[in-house]
Amino acid sequence: MEELQKQIEAYIDSKHDEIIEKWRNLVNQEAFCADVEDTYNVANHVKALFEEAGVKCELIEPHENTPLVVCGVIGEDRPGQPVMLAGHYDTVFKKGFLETHPFVIDEEGHAHGPGCLDMKGGIVIAAYVIKALESIGYKDRPIKICFCGDEEAGKNHLYTAEVIKEAAKGCKVAFNMETGLPNNAVCTGRKGAAGGSFITHGVSAHSGNAFEHGRNAVVEAAHKMIALDALTNMETGTHVNVAIVNGGVMTNQVPDRCEVTWSVRFKSKEEMEKTLAAVDEIFAKTYVEGTTTEVGPIFKGNVFEENERNLALCEFVNKISAADGYGEVGHAFLGGGSDAPNLQYHGAVTLCSCGVLGEWNHTDREYAIVDSMYTRAKMWCDVIRHIDEFSI
């Protein structure tokens, strides 16, 4: 191991308690993606965390009433293309969950708390990667950061995505500090997602005295739901999920309204276009005469497509990590979405799932492996120091 990496290890090892405290403070803040006021508070906390590391930060509002994006750079005048560390600070846990699930570390060395894994641990790792590199006088290239507050389910994330794309423009590589996988792999590809809602309108009538005059909106919606579900194709990895249904008022009335939300996951842009064309045909068809269908906006999340560049970067990371004792780093293609495709939009070679290791994100069983906070911080320092050696 090189002397500079030994100095980085010593720095990280000397900050164990401090890292835990920063992690605890960040997790113990309400950060539900739909509570914009709370996300503003977390954004300012994240900004302060990186400013403490020497990063010149700014808060960007992508759209009215949308969580802020924390963007920043350190070493702006350094030569070479920047390295990007990115992710999100919001969580899926509604306000109040934190009261009964605060940050805690158990006897097995696992941390618990809303967002400890997904992905507040990754934010803290990113901050200490920068601090550790600064401690050895790193001057090779700029390091940029970009952390948003509505990745989980933001209604205006379309605007946030544009901020992320712009922030990553010109970067050589981008590491999305998302949920790390327990086997130490990183993510080299993710499914894209699309979805929305539709409302079927019928004619209400008494189900006993005037049944024949009614037009059942719930039955019309049911036909469409079954047709949507039939688009699922396990061979191509296309998963259609009919998620929330709300229709009807009482059992003795033919329902005149039913609202349905749905989503679909896919592995390629081509599969997305094919599936959404089939969705349009389903919405255009009437199954129950006399009903109509109102289709809401359809959101589209890009695929993080696995390619030669992502796989080559993963292999480079594996070589560095294995050589210096941080473990072998494999790769995985995941079904859940992230902002990785936005980071790679302008050409940055991107890896995802670069944060603290753990399991069960989006559930009350979420946990993160504490020791991996330190190992991953050391590993990414090692990778960034040698990134000039990476080429494809």
Series of mean pLDDT values for 10-residue runs along the chain (392 residues): 94 98 98 92 98 98 95 96 98 95 98 98 98 97 97 86 97 98 96 94 97 97 98 95 96 97 92 95 98 92 91 98 97 92 96 98 96 98 97 84
H helix intervals, the chain: 3-14, 16-27, 36-52, 97-100, 121-135, 157-168, 217-229, 269-284, 308-323, 340-343, 370-385
- Check residue 300 and give its pLDDT: 82
CATH 3.40.630.10, domain 3-190+304-389, yes or no: yes
- Check residue 218 and give its pLDDT: 98
H helix intervals, 197-251: 217-229
Fold classified for 192-301: Alpha-Beta Plaits (3.30.70)
CATH 3.30.70.360 intervals, the chain? 192-301
Q: What DSSP assignment string belongs to 118-178?
A: IIIHHHHHHHHHHHHHHHTT--SS-EEEEEES-TTT-TTHHHHHHHHHHHHTT-SEEEE--
The answer to whether 238 touches 262, Cβ cutoff 8 Å, is: no
- Check residue 176 and give its pLDDT: 98
- Check residue 255 and give its pLDDT: 98
C-alpha distance from residue 13 to each of 7, 20, 184, 188, 193 (Å): 10, 12, 20, 29, 40
Q: What is the DSSP letter of 352?
A: B
CATH 3.40.630.10 intervals, the chain? 3-190+304-389
Query: What are the backbone dihedrals phi and psi of residue 281, each rounded to the nearest 5 degrees, phi first?
Result: -65, -40
- Check residue 305 and give its pLDDT: 87
Dmax over CA atoms of the chain, in Å, equals: 87
Q: Which two tokens stand for residue 93?
A: 């846990």
- Check residue 91 and give its pLDDT: 96
Burial degree of 316 (CB within 10 A; 0-12, 13-18, 19+): buried
- Check residue 297 and give its pLDDT: 87
Q: What is the DSSP letter of 357?
A: B
C-alpha distance from residue 373 to each of 218, 254, 266, 283, 370 (Å): 50, 57, 31, 47, 6
Angle between helices 3-14 and 121-135 (to 10 degrees): 130
HSE value, Cβ hemisphere, 13 Å, CA-based, for 209 = 3
